[in-house]
Amino acid sequence: MRGSSVSDDWEFIANEAHTVLMISCKCEGKSATNNSILGRNAFQLRSSYGGVTRTCEIQRTRLEDGQILYVIDTPGFDFNAESRLVVNEIGKCIDLADDGVHAFLFVLSVRTSFSKEE
């Protein structure tokens, strides 16, 4: 470890940037939730049946304790589509994270029943 004590090591780790990637089907409110996480309107919001986000986009914020948080907004995925296509698109989103993704948030609607694919 890099510090001279356990608390020094923990402080070093805690000050690193972290990246969150949110995944869900279309029209589940990912952009709005990501804006809440960031504390500002960074991602476009609009009422739309087909979803607003077309490509992955990354934004960052500095938290009150000084940590940097990156949030990746993704298009809504069609889990009924060929799984290879979904995996490839998720891979493109992950590529935006220079240091990798630290947390994946899966959003599932309580308004509808889950499909076999979800």
Question: Tens digit of pLDDT for each residue in 11-27?
Answer: 545 567 899 988 877 66
Mean pLDDT of the chain: 74
The domain segmentation of the chain, as residue ranges, is 17-107
Determine the pLDDT at residue 78: 65
The DSSP string of 47-105 is --TT-S--S-EEEEEE-TTS-EEEEEE-PPP-TTS-HHHHHHHHHHHHTT-TT--SEEE
CA distances from 6 to 1, 10, 12, 69, 118 (A): 8, 6, 10, 24, 41
Tens digit of pLDDT at every position of the chain (118 positions) = 455 544 555 554 556 789 998 887 766 677 888 888 889 898 877 655 545 555 788 999 998 888 899 999 887 766 666 667 667 777 888 898 988 999 998 877 677 665 655 5
User: At the fourth CATH level, which superfamily is domain 17-107?
Assistant: P-loop containing nucleotide triphosphate hydrolases (3.40.50.300)
Determine the pLDDT at residue 6: 46
- Which pTM was predicted? 0.69
